[in-house]
Structure 1
Amino acid sequence: MTTAFYWFRNDLRLEDNPSFLQACKSVDHLLPVYVHQPSLEQDTLWGFPRIGEHRKVFLEQSIHELRSQLRDFGSGLYEVTGDVLHVFEKLKAQTQADLIYCEQIQAPEELEQVAQLSSSGFKMNSGWQSSMLDAQSLPFRLQEMPDIFTQFRQQVEKKGLRFSCPVDAPKSIPPLPAIEMPPMNVLDANTLSSGNKFQGGEHSAHRHIQQYFERRLPDTYKQTRNQLIGIDYSSKFSPWLAQGCCSSGSIAKQLSDYEIFHGANDGTYWLWFELLWRDYFRFLHFKYGNELYRSKGLSKTPGNQFDSEKFFKWSSGNTGESLIDAGMRELKKTGYLSNRLRQIVASYWIYDMKGDWQAGSAWFESQLIDYDVYSNQGNWLYIAGKGTDPRGGRPFNVAKQTQEHDPDGIYRQIWLA
């Protein structure tokens, strides 16, 4: 009788979760596990919490729904707080199991966790599953992928790659091993129905994606995606993608079906194009790894020095530059910011305030409900000129951006009131 653990990481879903499906098909007893890591509760080097309240609430909602789904299959979720290695060593002592299935996350801290488990005698079965495209299908080895996104995209399109076909949710889940489950983390009504416009969980992800396609919003995506106010100007898939409540492959499959039924257009292409950017930042981690996390990134010069006084003005929305302040206040209040404003406020911090890009990146990690290690790192490197962009940085003219994206001042009025 084989017993194994399934370690849920950034893949809080049952549908299109190949590693979980493989575990369900391969073992006799399976213990699904989620580990809350104390290291993520600590403050950053810059003195603020690593994970802010907005993301915590969304994560708790997502885990709550995952547990409910697992229980519907007669399974459950072993949710515990602790160091990952210590948690699994304790579980191994209780079950005599040493096989762990999980998704592969190609970022330094996450790779280190798997390496520690492996060196401590655990058999690790980790599968790459967070990209829209199958890494094996690419027309180049990841270590030799084009540095420039346009070249990456052109080679992908030349080969006719669109997405890897999603897999179904398991039809059954192996029973739990004989083990005492920890007390359930009971969420209060406020957490379960938070005032945030995004509700965590796989069912919530499906509802949002379904209504987005039913209302034919992909058709206008390219025209509206740089707007600043409201829900419908962009897809808002990112919070659920970030926690793995849905997969980019399943979204791309729905997008393809939509194009077959309604016809392709600039909007549908641009939606796929943005999902491809997401893949690009993921695949870059296979090529450059830890280099992407240095102050100088892939460049020859380190980032700016950190100035706590300037940082407080920027992060609290008190710079005196109205569009920047409005954006930073929206971020702090809601845990969300439009893609356009993310670029503008990042540029302002780096180029106008001469700020440390890594501190800015860490602030986004703390605040964003849709924080994703690959996209966050990739976008900050891109703006700071520390990544693969041949232009060496993307400074934005704030006055020009204000005139283009908030000419009547309505956005600023909302957040500076």
Structure 2
Amino acid sequence: MTADRPAPRAGARTLYWFRNDLRLGDNPALAEACAASSALLPVFCHDPAQDAGTPWGFVRRGPHRQRFVHDSLSDLSNQLQARGSRLLQLSGRALDVLPALVRELQMDAVVTEDIAAPEERDEVQALRAAGLTVHTRDQSGLFEQADLPFAPTKVPDVFTAFRQAVEHAMVRVPDVLPVPERLPPVPAAPDDPARALPPASEDVRSSFPYATPGFAGGETAGLAHLQRYFQGPLARHYKATRNQLSGTNCSTKFSPWLACGALSARQIHAALQVHEAWAGASDGSRWIVFELLWREHFRLLHRRHGRALYRARGLSNLPAPPHHAAAFARWRQGNTGEPLVDAGMRELAATGYLSNRLRQVVASFLIHDLACDWRAGAAWFESTLVDFDVHSNQGNWLYIAGRGTDPRGGRRFNVEKQTRDHDADGAYRALWLT
């Protein structure tokens, strides 16, 4: 399915609905809306469903991600105010709050990011069914869909085939767009209530200390981190350090800002190109591109398979997975008796972050050793991870479970081997189990 171009008529009064694109730079939908509109109202909806309970016994969005999104919105609000605009934050589902606001302020159209996941697609369709004109644009991926050598419904299921196809076609990453030169005047709108969260209590052991300025939510901190990362030798060493279990410099740490859209994949790619221009390409810098392609593949798989990715059997013909509630509870609490797994789960709960290596290890252990439902694990990651991304989270859990597009039919990690390979001296286990 191809997203609509966000093209309100010239001189339109436009409501810009921020979703997972909490940035002003490299935001094509916002740029085009600004260029066309005589008035523009930026809005964010705090959907209560995001903070509701799940069937698995915990809230859908826990305190770590809640704090990071809150800080990202605060930064976005400040940037809009500095440019003579404002961010109106509303409490309620988009369907419950936007139609009335559009009619009250006599807005002509809603412009927003297109997100291929089912719930997000349903939100847009519900607004259209309510009579609103909604223009959407896919804008948080690496490529323009029209430039790909295949239709969205024909995206190769296997990552290697996808990567080879885009490399062979030499698909170009579009240039990064600057912040719009002008933001149209804001129409008179109701004030939104102040939103406050208790101060973040950061664990000093965290590999992503989001309570500190350098790792805070928002475009400002994200761009500063992007510049800092590529100024030194970290990118050159990325491939060698990416499987380390803890530390702020062992991996890029771009994912939390990517997840809420405070950074775009194209901004990262552009910064990497600048880095390679003066430092030269390296195994590490090329592996960062590899990781961006993995992210892109998971996003495009949603356009091909949609709701099928959310079935118990996923894309497979396997029976529904088993589930053992008691074993799942022990896994969540870090009380399985497997030291590496328990250390990882305790870090995740305490900080909202976990290395990619350990995400695979603990997911494999839940599915293949504890015989629990992969969907419960995916929901726990959604609740706890500060960098939760619906496309990558769903894709990775299906991949480990053998119910997605892994040509090997799933991945089972030997915990003893992983411990020998990645925590031979016991430093990580000692950090989180004492």
Structure 1 and Structure 2 fold alike (TM over 0.5): yes
State how far apart, in whole Å, the 2-side matches of 1:374 and 1:400 are: 29
The residue identity in structure 2 corresponding to 1:352 is D
Residue 290 of structure 1 corresponds to: 307
1:289-308 equivalences in 2 (<5 Å): 289-308=306-325
State how far apart, in whole Å, the 2-side matches of 1:28 and 1:284 are: 37
State how far apart, in whole Å, the 2-side matches of 1:189 and 1:390 are: 45
The C-alpha deviation readout for 1:256-295, integer Å capped at 9, x for no partner, is: 1211211111111100000000000000111100000000
The residue identity in structure 1 corresponding to 2:273 is S
1:242-257 equivalences in 2 (<5 Å): 242-257=259-274
DSSP 3-state at the match of 2:215? coil
Judging changes above 3 Å, is the alpha-carbon distance between structure 1 residues 343 and 188 closer, same or farther for their aligned structure 2 residues? Answer: closer
State how far apart, in whole Å, the 2-side matches of 1:402 and 1:416 are: 14
Q: Is the 8 A contact 2:72 2:217 kept in 1?
A: yes
Instruction: Name the TM-score, length of structure 1 as normaliser.
Output: 0.97
State how far apart, in whole Å, the 2-side matches of 1:307 and 1:393 are: 20
Residue 103 of structure 2 corresponds to: 93
State how far apart, in whole Å, the 1-side matches of 2:420 and 2:286 are: 27
Query: CA shift at 1:28, angstroms?
Result: 0.6
State how far apart, in whole Å, the 2-side matches of 1:366 and 1:356 are: 16
DSSP 3-state at the match of 1:126? strand
Residue 4 of structure 1 corresponds to: 14
1:80 aligns with 2:103: no
The residue identity in structure 1 corresponding to 2:191 is M
Query: CA shift at 1:190, angstroms?
Result: 4.9
Q: Is the 8 A contact 2:28 2:177 kept in 1?
A: yes
Q: Is the 8 A contact 1:198 1:239 kept in 2?
A: no
Residue 183 of structure 2 corresponds to: 173
Out of 395, 418, 421, the position equivalent to 1:404 is: 421
Q: Is the 8 A contact 1:303 1:357 kept in 2?
A: no
Query: CA shift at 1:80, angstroms?
Result: 1.1
DSSP 3-state at the match of 1:337? coil
User: Gaps (5+ residues) in structure 1?
Assistant: none
Q: Is the 8 A contact 1:30 1:174 kept in 2?
A: yes
1:201-220 equivalences in 2 (<5 Å): 201-220=218-237
Query: CA shift at 1:251, angstroms?
Result: 0.6
Residue 345 of structure 2 corresponds to: 328
Q: Is the 8 A contact 2:117 2:302 kept in 1?
A: yes
State how far apart, in whole Å, the 1-side matches of 2:57 and 2:357 are: 27
Query: CA shift at 1:191, angstroms?
Result: 8.4
Query: CA shift at 1:181, angstroms?
Result: 2.2
Q: Is the 8 A contact 1:32 1:76 kept in 2?
A: yes
Q: Is the 8 A contact 1:94 1:179 kept in 2?
A: no
Query: CA shift at 1:186, angstroms?
Result: 4.7
Judging changes above 3 Å, is the alpha-carbon distance between structure 1 residues 65 and 23 closer, same or farther for their aligned structure 2 residues? Answer: same
State how far apart, in whole Å, the 1-side matches of 2:42 and 2:142 are: 25
User: Gaps (5+ residues) in structure 2?
Assistant: 1-10, 203-208
DSSP 3-state at the match of 1:219? coil
1:132 aligns with 2:149: no
1:392 aligns with 2:392: no
Q: Is the 8 A contact 1:57 1:191 kept in 2?
A: no
Query: CA shift at 1:165, angstroms?
Result: 1.4
Query: CA shift at 1:119, angstroms?
Result: 1.1
Query: CA shift at 1:90, angstroms?
Result: 1.9
Instruction: Name the TM-score, length of structure 2 as normaliser.
Output: 0.94
1:237-386 equivalences in 2 (<5 Å): 237-386=254-403
Judging changes above 3 Å, is the alpha-carbon distance between structure 1 residues 320 and 188 closer, same or farther for their aligned structure 2 residues? Answer: closer
The C-alpha deviation readout for 1:18-63, integer Å capped at 9, x for no partner, is: 0011111111111100000011111111110000100000000000
Q: CA RMSD in A?
A: 1.5
Q: Is the 8 A contact 1:382 1:389 kept in 2?
A: yes
Which range moved further: 157-166 or 398-407?
157-166
State how far apart, in whole Å, the 1-side matches of 2:242 and 2:235 are: 10
The C-alpha deviation readout for 1:211-257, integer Å capped at 9, x for no partner, is: 11112211000011000020111000000000000100011011112
The residue identity in structure 2 corresponding to 1:173 is L
1:24 aligns with 2:41: no
Query: CA shift at 1:98, angstroms?
Result: 4.1
Query: CA shift at 1:183, angstroms?
Result: 3.0
1:67 aligns with 2:77: yes
Out of 48, 53, 68, the position equivalent to 1:58 is: 68
The residue identity in structure 1 corresponding to 2:322 is Q
State how far apart, in whole Å, the 2-side matches of 1:137 and 1:194 are: 36
Q: Is the 8 A contact 2:312 2:320 kept in 1?
A: yes
The C-alpha deviation readout for 1:55-102, integer Å capped at 9, x for no partner, is: 000000000000000001111011011121111122023112241000
